[in-house]
A and B are shown apart, each in its own frame.
Chain A
């Protein structure tokens, strides 16, 4: 069971500080979402956890410091999916997914029967078995996101880092992918840390939100505490309404900033709880 703990993590690119002393705790089997405007440092923080960028401070995985781990060991514990994964041309879905087995395969070796069994399992679980022989670049957006997720699952890492897993998808596929991630989290005991732009989805699926702005954590907690209209105005410079619809969770609705129609909403909607 692996929890993830970041303390005083700082990252600088060429002398420019991008992350400025961040503490984040992701309890085992939970889902935490990093939110914040563009350039807040969400992606950089995920990359630091994945060991892809140098940092100061400490990152602990299951109580053990990540800094001393080999790349191979780290990738057995942490799977990272970038926002726009590179899809190699002419590679079948099965072969693509088997790239996730790399941390278990000897450096110059090739997949064992066990590796292939894991790939089969994952393909089956994500309903990709029928597409296993298709070239990865020929998949639709939703299928290709599932294939990428399958590659991460094939890594059999307990910590899943996802950078904007829904950014290229329509609303239906966004929902499907988020639900799938949540099912997998429960089923396989995964600890999930995602960067998300969609605040509504973040609030619906993550148990805690961490709001980053300019490399600092400015708010942290359950969606109801973090997602307030003032805070979103302050950090995103966005005018939104946050609606707490019973049964639907928190919904963040952008409002045209020059709109004068705020008062013209139907009476029954105005009686609902505004925050």
Chain B
């Protein structure tokens, strides 16, 4: 007898459907176009399309833009939009990965000491290596990156040595302690160098104001590697949902999966933080919004976090630089100011459905 019940293969909520692919692509491209279009200098949409087409090999179009406008487009707006997209996608994806690997909805990519480590690194660079512009490579992102990676490494080594049964919780607690220590050190350095206060504060709130292609090329390899690695682990993150012991009993090593995911997410996050400062909230609300609407499989959440995280931060940056133009609002303020109400809306709607 042929059963006409739906088969498991049709029920799987573990695939990004074609329609969702189109939606996420449209969100990324739409926000990117908007980000390129809006700014202090008016550039016509036709000219922008012509310029973009001109860059495609084998096509030669004259956009009619002046040399100054072309420079604004290619040296200011496009790299800034690309960077916002990379940072947003990376933070959202790393947040999703951390939530999965720690089975903790409050986990964000800064959980294990990335933020405090990067903050200390950045503060040290600002306090002891001012006049960065004379350096061939700016020390600030390097110091922030090193601090972030070091913070997580210390957390991992200290948190891992404790008992195995509550490995995830132990690691989180170690992260809290390490972050407190690093933040105290950072505050101390800052107090000793009060002239750095403004610069450090601006960095902590996050900014994409002074970026160019150099920053893009700086973080691109990390984001690409980290993104590919996390996508590889998407199914194993679903398996981790049943807890360490049960995950181990179906043939994986939860400790090894956690180490790999933490390492990949940390490298990407550290690179993002190094160029943009501490942009909060993206890593929490983007994956959760996706989870509330589309279910909880990481095979859906991870790739969509990349896309929607990118779109979200491009738009947040657009708001940050245009609302009080020519002044800029710190982007971290924008992500929380607009992100929080949006997230609450999704939360209340999804509760009604459930």
Residues of A within 8 A of B (CB): 47, 50-52, 70-76, 79-80, 82, 85-92, 94-100, 102-103, 105, 107-111, 113, 116, 119-120, 123-124, 129-130, 132-133, 155
For A79, the chain B residues whose CB sits under 8 A away are: 249
Contact B242 A99 (CB under 8 A): yes
27 cross-chain CB contacts under 8 A: A47-B245, A51-B249, A72-B251, A74-B251, A75-B249, A75-B250, A82-B245, A82-B246, A86-B246, A88-B103, A88-B242, A88-B296, A91-B296, A91-B297, A94-B8, A95-B13, A95-B297, A96-B242, A99-B239, A102-B250, A105-B235, A107-B252, A108-B233, A120-B7, A123-B8, A129-B3, A132-B11
Q: Which of B245-303 touch A at CB < 8 Å?
A: 245-246, 248-253, 291, 295-297, 299
Q: A90-B296, A108-B233 are in contact. Are A95 and B250 (CB under 8 A)?
A: no
For A119, the chain B residues whose CB sits under 8 A away are: 8
Per the bound structure, the CA–CA distance linking A72 and B239 in Å amounts to 14
The majority secondary structure among interface residues of chain B is loop
Per the bound structure, the CA–CA distance linking A132 and B6 in Å amounts to 8
For A120, the chain B residues whose CB sits under 8 A away are: 7-9
Q: Mark B222-247, 1 if CB is under 8 A from A, else 0.
A: 00000000001101101101110110
Min CB–CB distance B227 → chain A (angstroms)? 14
Per the bound structure, the CA–CA distance linking A124 and B3 in Å amounts to 9
Contact A71 B11 (CB under 8 A): no
For B242, the chain A residues whose CB sits under 8 A away are: 85-88, 96, 99
Lowest 4 A-B CB distances belong to which pairs?
Answer: A88-B241, A90-B296, A75-B251, A103-B251
Per the bound structure, the CA–CA distance linking A71 and B8 in Å amounts to 27
Min CB–CB distance B338 → chain A (angstroms)? 26
Q: A95-B238, A95-B297 are in contact. Are A71 and B248 (CB under 8 A)?
A: yes
Residue of chain A at shortest CB distance from B240: A88
Q: A75-B250, A95-B12, A110-B235 are in contact. Are A90 and B291 (CB under 8 A)?
A: yes
Contact B14 A95 (CB under 8 A): yes
Residue of chain A at shortest CB distance from B243: A86
Per the bound structure, the CA–CA distance linking A74 and B253 in Å amounts to 12
For A123, the chain B residues whose CB sits under 8 A away are: 8
Max chain A CB contacts within 10 Å: which of B6, B235, B243? B235
Contact A92 B241 (CB under 8 A): no
For A96, the chain B residues whose CB sits under 8 A away are: 242
B5: Cβ under 8 A from any A Cβ = yes
Per the bound structure, the CA–CA distance linking A4 and B5 in Å amounts to 38
Residue of chain B at shortest CB distance from A104: B251
For B252, the chain A residues whose CB sits under 8 A away are: 71-72, 102, 107
Contact A76 B235 (CB under 8 A): no
Contact A91 B241 (CB under 8 A): yes
Contact A108 B245 (CB under 8 A): no
Per the bound structure, the CA–CA distance linking A79 and B249 in Å amounts to 7
**Beyond the given A99-B250, A116-B9, could you list 15 further A-B residue pairs with CB under 8 A, ordered by the A residue number?**
A51-B249, A52-B245, A71-B253, A72-B252, A75-B249, A82-B245, A88-B241, A98-B8, A99-B242, A103-B251, A108-B232, A110-B235, A120-B8, A129-B3, A129-B5
